[in-house]
């Protein structure tokens, strides 16, 4: 499956917040956040690394896409995964919407829309490399 990926050596929570902010700047709202680590712990009693799935949606693009193809709703959400690897790297991945668009329903207008969604997702991920670690402002014990 074709997807975009960026790896960062920053704290997981910082990357998660920046991803959410970058998606917002590109017009995507985060509909849900699935905490896979927490779900595996609660449902399976399995310890798992930090792993969250953000379901993002741009209402304007969603409206245009469904107006062009009513069954496209089954593919609407743009999932973005933020996961922390054992080496401390945090990886952010998102599917390439151009590749996930079914060739059978692809039209010029849908393709143009997928190109715009693709551009915005890539921009949101590319801007992660501008993330700098925040200086710690915790009060030190006296």
For residue 72, tell me if it sits in a domain. yes
For residue 112, tell me if it sits in a domain. yes
Total domain count, the chain: 1
The answer to whether the CB of 113 falls within 8 A of the CB of 64 is yes
Q: pLDDT tens digits, residue range 6-50?
A: 999 999 999 999 999 999 999 989 999 999 999 999 999 999 999
Q: DSSP strand E in 36-111: where?
A: 51-57, 78-84, 90-95
User: Residue 30's domain spans which residues?
Assistant: 3-128
For residue 134, tell me if it sits in a domain. no
For residue 135, tell me if it sits in a domain. no
Selected residue with higher pLDDT from 112 and 77: 112
Selected residue with higher pLDDT from 87 and 4: 87
CB atoms within 10 A of CB 26: 18
**Residue 29: CATH number of its domain:** 3.30.310.70
For residue 142, tell me if it sits in a domain. no
Q: What is the pTM of this model?
A: 0.78
Q: pLDDT tens digits, residue range 111-130?
A: 777 777 877 888 888 888 77
């Amino acid at each position: 499956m074709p997807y975009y990926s960026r790896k960062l050596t920053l704290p997981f929570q910082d990357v998660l917040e920046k991803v959410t902010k970058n998606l917002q700047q590109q017009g995507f709202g985060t509909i849900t956040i699935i905490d896979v680590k927490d779900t595996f712990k609660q449902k399976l009693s399995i310890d798992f690394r930090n792993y969250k799935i953000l379901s993002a949606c741009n209402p304007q693009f969603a409206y245009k896409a469904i107006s062009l193809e009513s069954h496209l709703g089954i593919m609407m959400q743009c999932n973005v995964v933020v996961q922390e690897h054992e080496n401390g790297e945090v990886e952010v991945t998102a599917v390439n919407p151009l590749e996930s668009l079914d060739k059978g329903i692809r039209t010029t207008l849908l393709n143009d829309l997928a190109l715009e969604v693709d551009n915005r997702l890539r921009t949101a991920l590319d801007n992660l490399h501008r993330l700098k670690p925040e200086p710690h402002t915790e009060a030190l014990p006296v």
